[in-house]
Amino acid sequence: MWTANDQTYESVLQEFQERFNNHPRVKKLVQGWDRLVLLDSTDTGTKFGLIVKNQTMTEVRKMEAYDEDADDLVHLQAEEDVLMEIFSGRYNPATALVDGALAVYSRDRDKVKLEALAMVIWRLG
Amino acid sequence: MEPFFYVTVGCGMALATSVFTMISGLFEVVGGLGVLLGIALAGLFCLVIALSIGELASMYPSAPAIRTYLKTAFGDRVSLVLVYLYLISVILVAGLESFIFSQVFQAVFPNAATIPTVLSLIGVVLAVNLAGLDLPRSTQMITTVLAVMLIATSGVYGLVMPKIDFSTSIGAQAGADLLLTLPAASGMAIFLFMGFEWVTPLGMRPKSYQWHVPVSMPIAVGVLVITFELFVLGAASQLPRSAIASTPIPHVPYLATLYGPVGVYLALGLALLATISTFNAGIMGGSRLIYMLAREGNLPGWCASISLRTSAPVGSILLLGGSTLASAIVVVTWRIEVLVAVIGAAIMCVIYAAFLLAALVLRKRRPEAARPFRSPVWSHVQWAGVIVLPFMGLQTLFSQPDWGVWPVLGTGAAVTLAALLAWRYRTASRQEPRGNQAPLVVSPEPGREGC
């Protein structure tokens, strides 16, 4: 069952998906970068998966289960408000990471890639 | 294999070729017994520090350790000064490391010139990083295990097959003399453990920070203590103190004495293993820290430029590579390898004290924060570390009277530079809105798509 908060959060992610898919520079940035970006809210327990495949974010969906050992997993963990701020472009993910508000479990390059994506979408888009 | 990987990262980051230079410096200052005690004491301090860092890592999993821990504990300005100081020490050590590599290389290839060797080493590492190549985890584990095994087994072999009277190298320093020089020796020996904390952002999953990452650091420190002590014992059984103290690469004559001409090749192999793991990972980790600072607006915007194709932080890699080269040239020109190592050790004593203090401050300031791992060390011991470590660092600067005021001047210059950078960039970044201080610059590299 969706709550008002879920809808708001999901709409932020849907909007992010739209921006992601409509941005020509993002396509270049995610060339060969097929990933499951898992957004894990520490306070609400909600988990959303952003699935990037063939230079497109093909799906944004709630996740019940996932393979935490998968090579293509990029796991983001934060409070839901923080994730919403990040994915609506109001909070620089690099700063969130430094502030200790966001945890990212992935290879180092994926961290840079994620932040580059966010900045291309909101700063130079 | 996951916990083992973390331990090998902690060990591998510390096992640089320049640790042998510092061991040579230790033999010069205190003699063998002092070296053994200095390493043991430094290891004990690092054990306490590692447990505190483990607690901080469990509070802020995957965070860029030094920046996050110190910022949340001490605020932006103080943490920035310490982060810049840390970066300066990384650059100094990277320059030293490339110089020491060139010395080992020349031991095998006497006609090789120093500067071209240094340039080649830095060039290769930069190219690897710019190409966005990551060292596979298995390679990290294998290189570290090989290095530890080679050093430790050689130590045991050297000890059981002594070529000289052990007491010649170990020496019989009078009790009072030993006590007087021990703080400086311990401060210098902190250098040997530098980098064990670089494992903190590398946790693969949230659960890694409950136990695996925090515990891996004290284990790595323990392994390092045993490895270094065995090396010292082995070296002292094969070479007189003067022979160990007179070269920045004492492991080369030691392994040559032990194994004959093959030993020199083994020393080069050891240097290559260190380059694959420590030097490469140092450039990668250091450039990531510079990139983060630039993204926060705490370094020039161009340092945050990245490659669209490889996602490599091009600007920060080039800045770090250029600074490393400058540092190496200074070391090569004035042959100040031990001096640079001592300045690096003194800075690290202060940084490690800051980590200890950060854990204590955050226990008071954020008692409610989740701490899946909590340091079991009695807080009075941690407070003692906070006080004693900077004192040890200061003693280190006066460990060799021949150097005069140069260690103090060098450290003073590093502190001044760090303070100036913090003042310059923090003032600029404060005028920007939350978290959006620096624009992203994507490098327009030739032949690459940019934007």
| pLDDT, mean of residues A92-110 | 87
Check residue B311 and give its pLDDT. 76
Q: How many CB pairs under 8 A join A and B?
A: 105
Check residue A7 and give its pLDDT. 55
Q: What is the pLDDT of residues A39-82, one digit of tens each?
A: 999 999 999 999 999 999 999 999 988 888 888 899 999 999 99
Within 8 A of B134 by CB-CB distance, chain A residues are 107-109
Check residue B444 and give its pLDDT. 41
Check residue B398 and give its pLDDT. 92
The answer to whether the CB atoms of A92 and B64 lie below 8 A apart is no
The answer to whether the CB atoms of A99 and B68 lie below 8 A apart is yes
Check residue B405 and give its pLDDT. 93
- Tokens representing B82 are 């310490």
The answer to whether the CB atoms of B71 and A91 lie below 8 A apart is no
Dihedral angle of Cα B83, B87, B90, B95, to the nearest 10 degrees: -160
Closest C-alpha to B239, from B225, B256, B224, B226 = B256
The answer to whether the CB atoms of B306 and A116 lie below 8 A apart is yes
Tell which of A38, A105, A120, A123 to mutate to test the B interface (max B CBs under 10 Å): A105
Question: Could you tell me if A77 lies within 8 Å of chain B, comparing CB atoms?
Answer: yes
- Positions in chain B short of pLDDT 50: 431-451
The answer to whether the CB atoms of B203 and A97 lie below 8 A apart is no
Within 8 A of A123 by CB-CB distance, chain B residues are 436, 439-440
Check residue B135 and give its pLDDT. 77
The answer to whether the CB atoms of B436 and A123 lie below 8 A apart is yes
CATH of domain A4-122: 3.30.1050.10
Question: Could you tell me if A67 lies within 8 Å of chain B, comparing CB atoms?
Answer: no
Check residue B428 and give its pLDDT. 54
Within 8 A of B451 by CB-CB distance, chain A residues are 25, 28, 120, 124
For domain B2-429, the CATH architecture is: Up-down Bundle (1.20)
Check residue B168 and give its pLDDT. 65
Task: Report the percent of chain A where pLDDT is more than 70.
Answer: 92
pLDDT-derived band of residue A124, with 50, 70 and 90 as boundaries? very low
Check residue A125 and give its pLDDT. 33
pTM for the complete prediction? 0.91
Question: Could you tell me if A97 lies within 8 Å of chain B, comparing CB atoms?
Answer: yes
Rounded to the nearest angstrom, the minimum Cα separation between A29 and chain B is 5
Give the domain ranges of chain A: 4-122
**SS3 assignment for chain B:** CHHHHHHHHHHHHHCCCHHHHHHHHHHHHHHHHHHHHHHHHHHHHHHHHHHHHHHHHHHCCCCCHHHHHHHHHHCHHHHHHHHHHHHHHHHHHHHHHHHHHHHHHHHHCCCCCHHHHHHHHHHHHHHHHHCCCCCCHHHHHHHHHHHHHHHHHHHHHHHHCCCCCHHHHHCCCCHHHHHHHHHHHHHHHHHHHCCHHHHHHHCCCHHHHCCHHHHHHHHHHHHHHHHHHHHHHHHHHHCCHHHHHCCCCCHHHHHHHHHCHHHHHHHHHHHHHHHHHHHHHHHHHHHHHHHHHHHCCCCCHHHHCECCCCCCCHHHHHHHHHHHHHHHHHHHHHCCHHHHHHHHHHHHHHHHHHHHHHHHHHHHHCCCCCCCCCCCCCHHHHHHHHHHHHHHHHHHHCCCHHHCCHHHHHHHHHHHHHHHHHHHHHHHHCCCCCCCCCCCCECCCCCCCCC
Chain B positions contacting chain A at CB under 8 Å are 59-64, 67-68, 71-72, 132, 134, 201, 203-206, 208, 284, 288, 291-292, 295-296, 306, 308-313, 434-437, 439-440, 442, 449, 451
Question: Could you tell me if A101 lies within 8 Å of chain B, comparing CB atoms?
Answer: no
Q: Measured between CB atoms, which of A40, A98, A123 is closest to B440?
A: A123
